[in-house]
Chain A
């Protein structure tokens, strides 16, 4: 189970433990201090950005409706794949868009990343319903709520016997798009922060111009962003334990624990990413 503790395999709210909170806060403070020590104020701000990015990814994963193996048999609602995998697909598509828009400025890159992730989820969720409806003849039905909070559709009469529901109700569709957008936003934020740090440090370290080091800086920032994205998505998946229908699922209320875990993990991983070149300089 998670290092933050808490009871296992129960639905609904699972609050972080006191010990988990204290350890996480200490880790974050130590990482911030190290960032300031290594790269001064720019490093500190970059690490804050990375922590926010990681938290957005961890929080966003909770919105994504994932049904796993039961969804593949129409036994549970959601998308028939793993939590971390789907979120990674969406977030990385967002990172693709965000990195492309990076030269146009910070806000535009972030917006591009969010839209890229949201677009992937919008198309995927729609195609899931296309297959369920036109390939399998199954209308959507939630197993966790009797009524869709957005459209007001009722579900119990549409649910097949012996299942927990099936397909993607509209609330899950919206959750998927919001989750994809948050993931894309977080991933792009991590990428941009790291890119700024590398573009500032590398020319002096290698004695080259900004243009010359651009391919290395982009690659390094991209690899670290993907790595941190996967780390936060997997952490959130552990918090969810199995399947989740979206923001209306009782498991969604567990997100505070994932936010703390994502912040601590991003701080620790972020300090390695930021301090990498300083360490190279030392050796």
Chain B
């Protein structure tokens, strides 16, 4: 019994760490325009809209986070093998992984933006200086939380994978959850804030992203501020729920029916999410109603 209570505590802690990791991951990727909305940031200058948005999308979020979390986990693992305290080892491993992320962000911004030279998009050095450090700070939070979560899963719950491998697995899953949940909010609600609320962006409006803020030109720090309100927390809840339910069903229900308890509970949880999804889908159809074309063209 004590073992199960201990397991539930670790599960809750891992779920909380995953929530933090998910929220930081999405905010980081939105500041760097690393998710799918990067296509619009890259397209805008080609359509004549010069902007000051940071763009470091030379890899999707899942492989990028797979790399950084695996790197942080691998280094932490090596430090722990050198008898360094696990907390310190995870901090050091994550900090070193963040330097790789910083180099990645710098070269990616320079490369992506320089490729737009013929469309007269400048490389802004002040953007590079101010945005890179902010993405690094968010990346540190995401990597540290993810590596700490993986360490808990191995040392307290006894998963057989070594730390770097688990870092790769959960890093990719972190990027997948964060990009899936957070991207539409950044892409539609922020980049196309001028478009009508409650409707998709018409294809004819592609590239016409919002480039001006309350005062002066909009930059990616403004976008991070916006994403942190809903896209980031939603991604955090998404990844937190994934980690929590994955661990919870195993820790609590595996002793039942020779292990099949965990599988049955997994199926039940999937069905509950099916009901929630269907409920909000029907709610949206009833509440928002069919699409009504605006009186003026919105593009």
Contact = CB atoms under 8 A, between A and B. Distances in A.
Given A127-B177, A161-B202, 4 more contacts: A81-B180, A96-B173, A124-B177, A131-B182
B131 to A, nearest CB: 20
Interface string B270-294: 1001101110110111001011010
B285 A89 contact: no
A244 interface: no
B206 interface: yes
A88 interface: yes
Given A99-B159, A157-B291, A79 B266 contact: no
B162 A218 contact: yes
Interface stretch (B56-64, B89-97, B103-111, B216-224): B56-64
8 contacts: A73-B188, A75-B202, A88-B62, A129-B277, A132-B184, A218-B161, A219-B162, A222-B165
Given A75-B200, A122-B270, A162-B299, A93 B242 contact: yes
A109 B186 CA distance: 38
B176 interface: yes
A139 B281 CA distance: 7
A277 interface: no
Interface stretch (A43-51, A54-62, A110-118, A256-264): A110-118
B179 A85 contact: yes
Given A119-B245, A137-B288, A124 B176 contact: yes
Interface stretch (B4-12, B31-39, B44-52, B112-120): B31-39
Listed residue (B40, B186, B200, B299) with the most chain A CB atoms within 10 angstroms of its CB: B200
Nearest to A165: B200
B270 A118 contact: yes
Interface string A154-178: 0001111111111011100110010
Given A81-B35, A89-B62, A223-B165, A136 B197 contact: yes
A80 B161 contact: no
B171 to A, nearest CB: 9
Interface of A: 68-75, 79-82, 85-86, 88-90, 92-93, 95-97, 99-102, 104-105, 108, 111-112, 115-116, 118-120, 122-141, 151, 153, 157-166, 168-170, 173-174, 177, 214-215, 218-219, 222-223, 226
Interface of B: 35-40, 60-63, 159-162, 165-166, 168-170, 172-173, 175-177, 179-189, 191-192, 197-206, 230-231, 234-235, 237-238, 241-242, 245-246, 249-250, 254, 258-260, 262-263, 266-267, 269-270, 273-274, 276-278, 280-281, 283-285, 288, 290-291, 293, 299
A166 B198 CA distance: 11
Given A120-B177, A120-B242, A162-B299, A129 B281 contact: yes
A126 B238 CA distance: 9
A118 to B, nearest CB: 5
Contacts, number: 289
Contacts of A85: 60-63, 172, 175-176, 179
A164 B202 CA distance: 9
Contact of A135 (B161, B234, B249, B291): B234
A80 B199 contact: no
B260 A108 contact: yes
